[in-house]
Structure 1
Amino acid sequence: MPAILLIFYRIYQVVIMCPLLIVATILTAVATVIGSALGFGGWWGYYPEILWSRLFCWLAFVRVTVSGRENIDSKVSYMFVANHQGAYDIFTVYGYLGHNFRWMMKQSLQKIPFVGWACRWAKQIFVDNSSPAATRRTMERAERLLSGGMSLVVFPEGARTWTGEMRPFKRGAYRLAVEFNLPVVPLTIDGAFRVLPRFKKLPVPGHIHLTIHKPIHPSTDGHDLSRLMEESRSSIASVL
């Protein structure tokens, strides 16, 4: 983006975009908490967040295109695994995946005002690896969610990349998929690193492409953990 346009874009972000998103975040959080408290968390923990996420993209002039929606069924529970390029990965998946799910997310995100509050009420899974007992409790919460038929989205890299290249994958999500014999759906997010990498504070306009790959179904003997990790990582990398 030319320097003069970037200056006007930053002014727009400070004066218009950021205030609107702050208001939208507060309203979405309040709606999620109230709806979840009334016993409708399955709906209020997902659908308001779609509009919230799309606002983050629309107001930042970030275009998102999706391919592969025909590969998933809204009535099936999946373990979605995605690469983690930047903060806009969250808005891309939340806003455009088109399948109700809950996140497995970093424990530190609970501290974000309003967002952490809403996530707790919506029963997102905060990953606590501070001790073996805490890790076990995290897995138990995820197991209860999956046993109820909900899908999960996980970034198996564990954190955003610094370079744009994928980091090594962790096993946690795959162990759950093996235990519950769930189809694993790889998601490729391409372009979010250019929009907002982890070492920047504000986004720039851009185009993000979300690819929903075909599910990796368990065999008659169940999943093989190593093969599952390798195959899903290969699928994600294939369109980067």
Structure 2
Amino acid sequence: MTMAFLRGLLYMSLFFPLTFLVAGTALVCSLPDPRRYGAFARFWGRMGLALAGIRVAVNGTERLPAGPVIVMSNHQSNFDILALQGHFPRRLSWIAKEELFRIPVFGPSMRRGGYIPLDRGHGRKALKSIDEAAQQIRNGASVIIFPEGTRTRDGRLLPFKRGGFMLAARAGVPVVPVTLVGSFGVNPGGTCKLYPFRQVEIRIGKPIAVPQGMRRSEAEEFLMARVHDAIAKEIG
């Protein structure tokens, strides 16, 4: 058993209780005003990073357009969510699999925070779920999606899943490609190994809008190709 593995186990023994404590506190304290939830979410992200001594640098803030956006990011480790939640310059809601919303305390807290459940199955139920999420985005929610669908196991960018781009085409808001650099070195995907006291960089790319007049299927292909190219270029 390596030292990195032991560090990861110790980290999780502290982080999971912290997560449920913050989720429960946020749920109760935001009852008078749901806007309070964002401060707790940012605190959670920053505390999770601080436990591992991780620093975060953000570049490209000036590229963010006004209004709701869909952020598409690569996914290298468990620390990606913490970095984006704690340091992204705009409050983000999360597109998360529906099963997570069934977890006691954690699930109701996510709903309170405006996070959006997405049915990842097939057929009409999945399409209805995407349409409902698109409506929330049009109503003003900015969201984050990991289009790879899972964490990379070797640091390379994985093929993209189509679901996020179906949502983007329906929502009709700009897509902002974001590249996370350094998080794989902190916690390689697929392991609980932890290499602390490092830096993660959030690189915000230029927003991508769908050209007028495109059919949805064409818009999905267009966005998928452009976002993939933007992130792959930054990863190198």
Give the TM-score normalised by structure 2.
0.85
In the superposition, relative to structure 1, how do residues 166 and 198 fare at CA in structure 2: closer, same or farther (>3 Å)?
A: same
| Percent identity for Structure 1 against Structure 2 | 28
In the superposition, relative to structure 1, how do residues 144 and 180 fare at CA in structure 2: closer, same or farther (>3 Å)?
A: closer
How far apart, in 1, do the equivalents of 2:152 and 2:125 lie? Answer: 25
Q: CA deviation at 1:187?
A: 0.5
Which residue is 2:143 aligned to? 152
Q: Secondary structure at the match of 1:150?
A: coil
Q: Secondary structure at the match of 1:189?
A: strand
Q: 1:60 aligned to 41, 52, 55, which one?
A: 52
Listed as ranges, the gaps of 5+ residues in structure 1 are none
How far apart, in 2, do the equivalents of 1:11 and 1:79 lie? Answer: 34
In the superposition, relative to structure 1, how do residues 68 and 183 fare at CA in structure 2: closer, same or farther (>3 Å)?
A: same
Which residue is 1:21 aligned to? 15
Which residue is 2:129 aligned to? 138
How far apart, in 2, do the equivalents of 1:37 and 1:140 lie? Answer: 27
Q: Secondary structure at the match of 1:176?
A: helix
Which residue is 1:126 aligned to? 117
Q: Secondary structure at the match of 2:234?
A: coil
Amino acid at match of 2:163: G
Matched, 1:231 2:226: yes
How far apart, in 2, do the equivalents of 1:136 and 1:35 lie? Answer: 34
In the superposition, relative to structure 1, how do residues 227 and 147 fare at CA in structure 2: closer, same or farther (>3 Å)?
A: closer
How far apart, in 2, do the equivalents of 1:26 and 1:202 lie? Answer: 22
Task: Give deviations 1:142-173, integer Å, cap 9, x for gaps.
Answer: 12311321111101111111221111112222
Q: 2:67 aligned to 73, 76, 86, which one?
A: 76
How far apart, in 1, do the equivalents of 2:174 and 2:195 lie? Answer: 35
How far apart, in 1, do the equivalents of 2:168 and 2:47 lie? Answer: 32
Task: Give deviations 1:191-222, integer Å, cap 9, x for gaps.
Answer: 11111123222422122111010111233435
Aligned length: 230
Amino acid at match of 2:60: G
Listed as ranges, the gaps of 5+ residues in structure 2 are none
Q: CA deviation at 1:108?
A: 4.2
Q: CA deviation at 1:54?
A: 0.7
Which residue is 1:94 aligned to? 85
How far apart, in 2, do the equivalents of 1:180 and 1:143 lie? Answer: 4
Which residue is 2:97 aligned to? 106
How far apart, in 2, do the equivalents of 1:109 and 1:238 lie? Answer: 32
Amino acid at match of 1:76: G
Matched, 1:216 2:211: no
Q: Secondary structure at the match of 1:219?
A: coil
In the superposition, relative to structure 1, how do residues 115 and 193 fare at CA in structure 2: closer, same or farther (>3 Å)?
A: farther
How far apart, in 2, do the equivalents of 1:220 and 1:113 lie? Answer: 43
In the superposition, relative to structure 1, how do residues 173 and 12 fare at CA in structure 2: closer, same or farther (>3 Å)?
A: closer
8 A Cα contact 1:25 1:114, kept in partner: no
Task: Give deviations 1:100-152, integer Å, cap 9, x for gaps.
Answer: 22111233434656433421332312322234233123213312311321111
